[in-house]
Structure 1
């Protein structure tokens, strides 16, 4: 099984899904539609791997 992180900083998560960090940051602040769950740890926001995978699937459906 390949090593997989539990969570990613927004910049790394954005690179993984080929979107801008700003786009993901706005998705974490959405109150309606496809919200991306993220947890603030210190000064960084972290996105869990499972949440990113589920979010990108939903984002593709809404396009």
Structure 2
């Protein structure tokens, strides 16, 4: 799902990003959606998820060994 990005979107890096600054994901709050992008290639687009889907993704990722 792709939703147009707001002109003043505030992106923030994951707190789980490694020591290498260019190997991170960034997220942005788009009101009813959460956007996720690759910090190495921020101009190539982003993945947009509903808040519910983003929560399910985080639950799944944190349950992995």
TM-score (norm 2): 0.35
Higher strand share: 2
Relative to its length, the structure with more helix (as a share) is 1
Q: Structure with the greater relative contact order (CA < 8 A, sep ≥ 6): 1 or 2?
A: 1
Larger radius of gyration: 2
TM-score of the pair, normalised by structure 1: 0.36
